[in-house]
Amino acid sequence: MKRAKDIHENSPWQDLTPGGEIYEPATSLLFNTGDWRTQTPVFLEDKCKQCLLCVPYCPDSAIPVKDGKRGEFDLMHCKGCGICITACPFDAIVWKEAE
Amino acid sequence: MAHLDRLSGNEAVAVAMRQIDPDVMGAFPITPSTEIPQYFAQYVADGLVHTELVTVESEHSSMSVCMGAAAAGGRAISATSSAGLALMYELLYVAASSRLPIVLAVSTRALSGPININNDHSDAMGARDAGWIQIYAENNQEVYDNYVQAFPIAETPEVRLPVMICQDGFITSHAVENIELLEDEEVKGFVGEYNPEHYLLNSREPLAVGPYDVTHYYMEHKKQEAEAMKNAKAAILEQARRFEALTGRKYGFFEEYRMEDAEEAIVVIGSTAGTAKATVDMLRAEGRKVGLVKVRVFRPFPGEELARALKHCRAVAVMDKSEGFSACGGPLFAETRSALYDLESRPKLINIVYGLGGRDVSTKDIAAVYDRLHHLAQTGQVGEVYTHMGVREEV
């Protein structure tokens, strides 16, 4: 069985699965789509009330929650859409200054 | 044991479908293939098959149904013609690149416009580069035989590509001929159980089919698909061998008719081959060294084999029942001429576009082609390479 972790950008065509089929779940965890991002959100922990409104609004599940509290952005998957910035009632998320 | 029956080409395909008893049919009517889902719906209603018949609102959906069913692990079928095949266009590529072994019966018909419901090959030829295996029939017996062989070819693990089983709309789809049918058990035995390695309904293995393919992988997947199409050649011959063992009827990539010492030959696809064979017999009786190659498998294209079959000829006419608008000949001509390029010495070649929109072709028309080839072979003067048979024109 070919596993996603063994397939990479230098794999020869013989090592890929037919039609790009994937035989396991959650392989998006292995794939950096955060590099499509042009703007980056910054989490201001001291302003955050942990209301968690930002979490369901995030289209990419890029805001991890542990023990009822959100943590730092998963920048490997955040596309920088900014929806969380609009959703936050406490201005606890802002755009990063130009990189 | 086999038994005789008299069936139209469409009914012959429907009978083969009943004997195979596939899991799902995506069904939508269009002339001249409409009878296929019509007959098959009766089999479903009569409880003769276990197939889930999904009646949809368009051919885009009938092919989508097939893709979902095939990805789920089932055998999926559909039938269509002309504009219906055109409406499947997007899905044809997805089905092939997702490596789904669907079987599609095509009763070929002109693809508008001007609107026309009669036979030519412009619909199937328009889909020739979609990644589907294409097998064409001369008559009702052949379309039945080809259909029975389709799933084992499509499902060969090294192939995993969908197959189009093409016949000439109306000419064979609606003409009733005597044909020899296999018994149901023989067909089921030949086609066998389908046990795909990966399928969506497998609860033990999560599976994603058709995921987004980024630039770093797309070309490698296209290379895989191209290799699968090359592998299809061996699979087609293997199933032909099994089929011959079962029925005594022999199939290959093409049929060579009286080609042994032929100096002038026609290359043709489909029912016109029957007319051309009668012409060959007529001219052979007069001592003319004429022959015929009837192409059965157009995808994968048997280029090397075809070149070997034609290399001894002095002059060859490639007959295209579709107008590719390349301004230098039809698709069969382009492929055939390309296949001959690697020969040390090759026959003179001409292209004749014929029979568009149901224009009839008689033995007299074919004899005129052989006369032209004879003149060409004698004089070495090719003249106009790309011409249209029987078109009225002021001269």
Average pLDDT over residues B66-89: 98
For residue B120, pLDDT over 90 is answered with yes
Give yes or no: residues B232 and B267 share one domain: no
CB contact under 8 A, A13 and B223: yes
Determine whether the interchain pair B224/A18 forms a contact, defined as Cβ–Cβ distance below 8 Å.
yes
Q: Is residue B394 part of a domain?
A: no
Count of all residues that appear for chain A in the document:
99
Q: Are residues B168 and B284 in the same domain?
A: no
Last residue of a domain, one of B194, B227, B247: B247
Could you report the per-residue pLDDT of B187-244, keeping only the tens digit for each?
999 999 999 999 999 999 999 999 999 999 999 999 999 999 999 999 999 999 999 9
- Distance between CA atoms of B171 and B109, rounded to whole angstroms? 10
pLDDT at A99 over 70: no
> The tokens of A88 are what?
């936050």
B280-315 pLDDT, tens digit per residue, is 999 999 999 999 999 999 999 999 999 999 999 999
Same domain, yes or no: B294 and B229:
no
Q: Are residues B140 and B30 located together in one domain of the fold?
A: yes
* Residue B241 and residue B258 in one domain: no
- pLDDT band at A31; cut points 50, 70, 90: confident
User: From the centroid of its chain, how far is CA A9?
Assistant: 21
Buried b (16+ CB within 10 A) or exposed e, A72-87: ebeeebbbbbebbbee
pTM for the model = 0.94
How confident is the model at residue B395, as a pLDDT?
85
User: Which residues on neighbouring strands pair with residue B387, listed in sequence order?
Assistant: B352
Residues B38, B139: one domain? yes
**Fold type of domain A32-99:** Alpha-Beta Plaits (3.30.70)
Using a CB-CB cut-off of 8 Å, the residues of chain B touching A13 are 219-221, 223-224, 227
Chain B residues closer than 8 Å to A24 by CB = 205-206
CA distance A67 to chain B (A): 29
pLDDT above 80 for B118: yes
Residue at which a domain ends, from B220, B247, B274: B247
* Same domain assignment for residues B325 and B229: no
Check A23 against B205: CB less than 8 A apart.
yes
pLDDT of residue A54: 98
Phi and psi of B276, rounded to 5°?
Answer: -70, -35
Portions of chain A given CATH number 3.30.70.20: 32-99
Strands of the sheet with B163-168, listed across from one edge? B52-55, B24-27, B76-80, B103-108, B163-168, B133-136, B297-299
> B228 lies in a domain?
yes
Q: Are residues B212 and B312 in the same domain?
A: no
| Whether residues B193 and B333 fall in one domain | no
> Does the pLDDT at position B58 exceed 90?
yes
Average pLDDT over residues B359-371: 98
Which residue(s) pair with B55 in the sheet? B27
The reply to whether B395 falls in a domain is: no
Q: What is the ipTM of this complex?
A: 0.89
Residues 54-93 on A with a CB inside 8 Å of B are none
- Domain housing B340: 254-388
Do B22 and B68 touch, CB atoms closer than 8 A?
no
The Cα B353–Cα B324 span in angstroms is 9
Same domain, B294 and B211: no
Check whether residue B266 and residue B188 sit in a common domain.
Answer: no
**What 8-state DSSP symbol labels residue A88?**
-
* B80: β partners: B106
Q: Are residues B100 and B179 in the same domain?
A: yes
Average pLDDT, chain B: 97
Closest in B211, B219, B225 to A22, CB measured: B211
Q: Say yes or no to pLDDT of B323 above 60.
A: yes
Q: Is the pLDDT of residue A98 over 80?
A: no
Two tokens, residue A76: 């490997």
How many domains does one find in chain B? 2
User: CA B316 to CA B343: how far, in whole Å?
Assistant: 14
